[in-house]
Amino acid sequence: MKAGYIQLLSSAGLSGAALLIPNMLRDELGANTMEIGLITASFNLALFLSSYVFGRASDVHGRKLYLRAGLSLTSIALFLLVFADSKTSLAVVRILIGLCAGIYPSALLSYVYETEGKIGKFTAYGSLGFGIGTFVAGMLTIYYEIFLASGLMLFVAYFISTRLVFVGERFHKVPLFPLAMVRHNFPVYVSIMFRHTGANMIWVVYPLFLADLGATPLFIGFVYGINAVSQYLFMRFIDRFQTYHLVMAGFIFSIITFPSYTLATRPEEIVPMQVSIAVAWSCLYVGSIKYLMERNEEKGTSSGLLQSFLSISAIMGALVGGITVFALGYHGSMFIATGLAIIGFIIFVTGNRFLDRKEKGVIAAKGV
């Protein structure tokens, strides 16, 4: 339960701090959508590097150091957002947050799997935290108050982490560049990269899209909260389903939901789509984590690589999404996102069939 509280608070702090940054950049600091995309991509590049480096380190050196250091440093970095008063300073602090926020997730996830085994229930706390963080941000609306509240949440999460007991940790020798692990898990890594690139083309300016539909900051927080609470409810009950079916369902719901955003003409019409996309991400994320945990001993590295691939998607999605919205409008990015989700679905299905045939061939050869 302590690990669940850490997940909840850290997710709430990071999501709350990030929610209205696109609006702050456009309305307060004069940034255009391409600049917003570039700053978002810079954050995700930092998160990409940090997630891989420290995910591997948690397998090699153990979980405790990286969990506690990551939470404390992220808390400090979030407090620094209070002093960001230009596009440049905000970009620098966001990069710092990305570097810090990639230190602890793999260590925490591996700790939970090795001590409890229930990934769906644990990740549900992250979704609930996301909803709480975005709702708090929508309630406060004043940027420095949001950043202070977010930093405080991470500080409390750090304090709780000092109460965790680490017993019987296993250490692994992991190559600096584990190409064999990437090949072994490529159906998930590559497919989710395509789908999430499309998703981030939408999310990078999603608060602006909602605002242009007429949503207030409070309603924007409510919309994000609906998504998060729905994820929380679904994730608590999907551990029982087979990994392959969960990932497939995640892709199918994504393919249905992304183009449906183009039908909205008023803010309240977004609510059903938020529930649908919550089902999509719940299935896709829990399924992907279970896929990796079931197939790999080096759980910190494999989950860190997943976060790195998600960060690559966020980088590409932010860059392409900012440009696409600038050139084609919101709907253009939503249709492209749909196409990328279809590509991801095809890669996952065909990639798994290829690996299944390959593994059966190896077993047959050993039997001979």
Is residue 171 in some structural domain?
no
Q: Could you tell me if residue 217 is inside a domain?
A: yes
Contact predicate 270/210, CB 8 Å: yes
**For the chain, what is the radius of gyration of the CA atoms?**
20
Considering its fold, how many domains does the chain have in total?
Answer: 1
Q: Say whether pTM exceeds 0.85.
A: no
Going by C-alpha positions, the residue among 89, 83, 70 that lies closest to residue 14 is 70
Contact 213, 264 (CB under 8 A): yes
Structure tokens that stand for 25 in this block: 């950049």
State how far the Cα of 261 lies from the Cα of 204, in Å rounded to an integer: 14
Would you state the pLDDT for residue 131? 79
Is residue 74 situated within a structural domain?
Answer: yes
Q: How many helices (H) and strands (E) does the chain have?
A: 15, 0
Amino acid at 323: I
User: Digits of tens for pLDDT over the chain (368 positions)?
Assistant: 688 889 899 999 998 888 778 888 888 888 887 788 788 888 888 988 888 788 778 777 777 888 999 999 999 999 998 888 888 898 899 999 999 998 988 888 878 877 766 777 788 888 888 878 877 887 777 777 888 999 999 999 999 998 887 766 666 666 667 778 888 888 899 999 999 999 988 887 888 889 889 988 778 878 887 888 888 888 888 878 888 899 999 999 999 999 999 998 898 899 999 999 999 999 998 899 888 888 777 777 787 788 888 888 888 887 788 778 778 888 998 999 999 999 999 999 998 888 777 665 544 445 54
Q: Which pair of tokens denotes residue 326?
A: 């600038």
In a domain, 169, yes or no: no
Residue 278 DSSP class: H
Which pLDDT value is given to residue 275?
A: 93
Q: Please, are residues 196 and 317 in contact by the beta-carbon 8 Å criterion?
A: yes
Question: What per-residue confidence (pLDDT) applies to 368?
Answer: 46
pLDDT for the residue 362: 46
Among 4, 225, 5, 28, which residue's Cα sits nearest to residue 136? 225
Task: Tell me if 292 is assigned to some domain.
Answer: yes
Asked if residue 289 belongs to a domain, the reply is yes
Q: Dihedrals φ, ψ of 177, to 5°?
A: -125, 90
Residue 359's domain comprises 2-164+180-367
Give me the pLDDT at residue 218, please.
79
CATH of the domain at 302: 1.20.1250.20
> What is the pLDDT, as a whole number, of residue 136?
82
Give the whole-angstrom CA distance, residue 49 versus residue 37: 18
Q: Does a structural domain hold residue 16?
A: yes
The answer to whether residue 192 is domain-embedded is yes
pLDDT confidence of residue 272? 92
Please name the amino acid found at residue 363. I
| Tokens found for residue 330 | 């919101």
